[in-house]
Amino acid sequence: MKNLFLFFAILTIHTLSYGQETIRLYNATLKSTDINGTKNFKVKNFPETSKKISDPLLSQTPIYWIGKILSQNNLRQHKTFLDLANEETFYPLLDSIDMNFYSNYALRNILDKQFAKDEKYNAFRKAFKSATTNKQKKSLLTDDLDNSIYFAALINSKYQVDSTSMSNSTEVEKQIKLGIKLSLDTLVMSKNLTGNAGILAELDKMVDKNITVKGYYFDVRYSKEYLSKVIYFLTKKYSVDIAKIKSATDKDQFTSTLIDFYDHKYSAMIAGSAILKITIDYNVTKISRDSISAIISANAQIPKVDLAKITGDLHAAFGLDKTFKGEAKTENYYCVSYAYDGDIETFGNH
């Protein structure tokens, strides 16, 4: 895989003496054995897997990173690539892959079973199979709201998603609570207040009694059936036509990124990822600005203006990213490792 060493150079590896991997999620250090029960964060069934991402990437959904290509120099710089097919916009070259997969595999093997008792599906299927161009097929999926459920199902058919609860949720909760406490403690100590010890003790109790943490671990990857289509188009078809693609005057977002990938401007296409979902539940009747203000006032004498500012800062620090606004629940997905496919990388490593 081209230039992958550049990625590894920017990943800070935290590995315990007996080979167990850890990640750093804000102020919490989390062990792989506590999250997925193994000594690493590798993506299943991929021989080519990156080392885990020590400082996990925020992800909007479990499949968010799949299909994107990554910068050679910065793991957080990426471009949409194959994942553009999930949008409503029609991309002629890209949608030739997806429409081929939908027509020749997904409908017959997945949606026919999923919507076996859905009369509207039969009409949609007939219209989709009868469409003579990829653009017509894409329009059927995006222009009619009644077909949105089938478009979503077709998109999902491209992915294999395995999920499991964290193997040791008690320990993960403990570590995340410690991370929140550390944020609170650091803030309190930075204010040089009298009565710091009393404030810290009460805030620690607030965290222990009024926060619960749950988590799920997702192993997400392109299905082997879809990946085989991608490999064929990239290595057998598009690589032959790359000169024609480059000379075209009507390049779209996909073809422009395809050229960048071919020309080594990006280092890897993500074909699989390991995703950690963290859900934090707050007892917001106890974790409030008023209760925090009362704790400070009971232990320190400070002006009202300063009290309001300190209270706001401490309240925000109850969130992992210090942006807590009093919501009863927060849910975030984090990419902790990614996988690439060697055959696809040959397209960009010609």
Which stretches does DSSP call E strand in the chain?
14-15, 21-25, 28-31, 57-59, 69-71, 78-79, 159-165, 211-222, 266-269, 272-282, 329-339
Domain-embedded: residue 113: no
Q: Beta strand pairing status for 272-282 and 78-79? A: unpaired
Domain-embedded: residue 347: no
Domain-embedded: residue 206: yes
Structural domains counted in the chain: 1
pTM for the full predicted model: 0.84
Asked if residues 175 and 29 have their Cβ atoms less than 8 Å apart, the reply is yes
Q: What is the mean pLDDT of residues 131-153?
A: 96
pLDDT digits 0-9 by tens, 4-57: 322 332 233 344 435 689 998 878 899 999 999 999 888 887 777 776 788 888
Domain-embedded: residue 114: no
Domain-embedded: residue 231: no
**How many residues appear in the chain?**
350
Domain-embedded: residue 209: yes
Q: Which residues span the domain enclosing 301? A: 4-79+162-218+274-339
pLDDT digits 0-9 by tens, 148-190: 999 999 999 999 999 999 999 999 999 999 999 999 999 999 9
What token pair was written down for 262?
């071919």
Domain-embedded: residue 149: no
pLDDT digits 0-9 by tens, 244-257: 889 988 899 999 99
Domain-embedded: residue 179: yes
pLDDT digits 0-9 by tens, 277-311: 999 999 999 999 999 999 999 998 888 888 999 99
Q: What is the mean pLDDT of residues 190-215?
A: 92
